[in-house]
Homo-oligomer: A and B are copies of this chain.
Amino acid sequence: MISRSPDLIKFRGVVVSPRNLRSFHHRHPPPPPAPTMSDLRPPEHQVAGHRASANKLGPLVDGSGLFYKPLQAGDRGEQERAFYEAFSAHAAVPPRIRDAFFPRFHGTRLLPTEARPGDTHPHLVLDDLLAGLQAPSVADIKIGAITWPPSSPETYVAKCLAKDRGTTSVLLGFRVSGVRVVAPGGAVWRPERPELKALDTAGVRRVLRRYVSSVSGEGADCSLAAAVYGGEGGVLSQLHELKAWFEEQTLFHFYSASILLGYDANAVSATGVGGGVRVKLVDFAHVAEGDGVIDHNFLGGLCSLIKFISDIVSEAPETPPLAP
């Protein structure tokens, strides 16, 4: 559990020191004035999680680089806020890791809710991870064979375990929670959740191949594999950097967090050498303290994902496609 006071932030019992907090505030000046509701809209490219609608809370973007994530119900919202506060302030997190692989946290903000006029709801203010991508191809991959923190109550363990066994989590150490692929003509492939939940090992391999293919329809040519997955700054090299950190870091255990992959389908097909490839961690409502132990569950799933993607790069055509 988390407790907060004006002077201290506790993350699952660990007090974040005032020294770290100063550093946190130094790095994160208060965000600009609140946007009005008319600036905000549901993100067009969201592939997983709750979606905002007239009657439901969901994330919003302001079109100028910020992403507003409503605090989730129960403990989750507060847990996620506590994680962002602790993580942003933690002196032992290498700045390169924080900047490269995590959305920047800009505090929380009360926003009016369409569902309950006159009422407000607290939102985490984060970087919009897909800002700047004209035609984002996105994949949300939930990492770890185990998605429940060890201290969870029995009913929660049972619920998660059923999902972890019913999807590929236990078998592969990860599952694809969402995907959106933009084909050359602009056509978007975004399978529905039941389809993703039903994927087996071969299905996951197909989705990860299709994510780097520039065809419309069912096929997969993996013509973008070298540009998106391989090469300098590609997904694989970023995942390897993340892996090196996970082999050492004993601060946090990222249960049920996802790796979000993104690239610009327009830019990559135009230049053939990348296109804003992004690898980010998201969804921290179930992060637990590391207590001096590495996150072997996340690390194992990450290594499994790396193997899947390496295999695709090895089998794919070696040179990225040229511009048409």
Q: Does A161 contact B (CB under 8 A)?
A: yes
Interface of A is mostly: helix
Taken together as a complex, chains A and B put the C-alpha atoms of A22 and B146 apart, in Å, by 41
Q: Does A201 contact B (CB under 8 A)?
A: yes
Q: Is the pair B304, A294 in contact by a Cβ cutoff of 8 Å?
A: yes
Q: Is the pair A250, B307 in contact by a Cβ cutoff of 8 Å?
A: yes
A299 CB contact (under 8 Å) in B165, B248, B303: B303
- A side interface size, CB within 8 A: 27
Q: Is the pair A300, B296 in contact by a Cβ cutoff of 8 Å?
A: yes
Taken together as a complex, chains A and B put the C-alpha atoms of A250 and B303 apart, in Å, by 12
Binding site for B on A (CB under 8 A): 145-146, 150, 157, 161, 165, 170-173, 201, 247-248, 250, 291-294, 296-297, 299-301, 303-304, 306-307
A304 CB contact (under 8 Å) in B157, B172, B293: B293
A300 CB contact (under 8 Å) in B201, B292, B300, B307: B300
Q: A306 contacts which chain B residues (CB < 8 A)?
A: 247
Q: A145-B296, A146-B146, A247-B306 are in contact. List 11 more A-B contacts (CB 8 A).
A: A145-B145, A145-B297, A150-B165, A150-B171, A172-B296, A173-B297, A173-B300, A247-B303, A293-B304, A294-B307, A300-B301
